[in-house]
Structure 1
Amino acid sequence: MLSNHLQKVKLWISTNKSDLYIASIIFLTAVASFGLGRLSILWPEKEPIIIENHELGIRNNETAEKTLNSISPNSSFIIPNSSQKYVASKNGAAYHFPWCSGALRIKEENKIWFETKEEAEKAGYKPAGNCEGL
């Protein structure tokens, strides 16, 4: 009786070889995908890189190399005092943090520095809309 069932199974396997091959590939792919998904949970998360203040900044899709090559070796950078926390333009109506995109576009000769928000607002400036945290 057992040999009879064994014969039937062998016959069924030989007639359905291609279907069994496809089914086994699907099964192994599913098992591998599940295993990789579980493995990805075990990997430690990487800390994101956060740039808090960049004086040089890459603007308008320039490459870093192009930006660095445009700086002459004799150029000097004006670094604001730690008390100068807000900047505005003489010609503008808004004040920014020094690292905001709007502040980076202000020419050095047009910059006005403020220590507090209140001081900037007393001078008639409003917070910039594109500068987060104001």
Structure 2
Amino acid sequence: MKKNQGDIALVAGFILVALISFGVGYLTAPGAAKNPLIIEGPQAGISEQVTSEQVGEPASASILDSTAKRVGSEKGLIVASKNSKIYHWPWCAAAKNIKQENEVWFKSEAEAQETGRTRCADFEKMAPAGYIK
């Protein structure tokens, strides 16, 4: 034991210095711990934008048409590959991998299903807000 006493003291010293350094760094670091999170009440104007009648209202054809226009696609709302039986939203990551020459566009989900195609796995997750089949 006396033979290794110097090594034990050295290791203990390193551990002590590491703990002290960590504590000093933690106490002096600027961050969220010193800045409290403040939650304010509703802001004026937000409640005016959404009325109670609009909440939970299903998406109309005009909303879906405007969504398609925002995407910049006059070709349609749903896209699929001619080599696949799965259809996607144009903004879906899988849809972005379809070569332009292989794209097949549909105006609606029903039109895509008529060709025997099915939804991609993320179809519902990627759907525009309020989308109802």
Q: TM-score, normalised by structure 1?
A: 0.41
Higher RCO structure, 1 or 2 (CA under 8 Å, sep 6+):
2
Q: TM-score, normalised by structure 2?
A: 0.42
Between structure 1 and structure 2, the one with the greater Rg is: 1
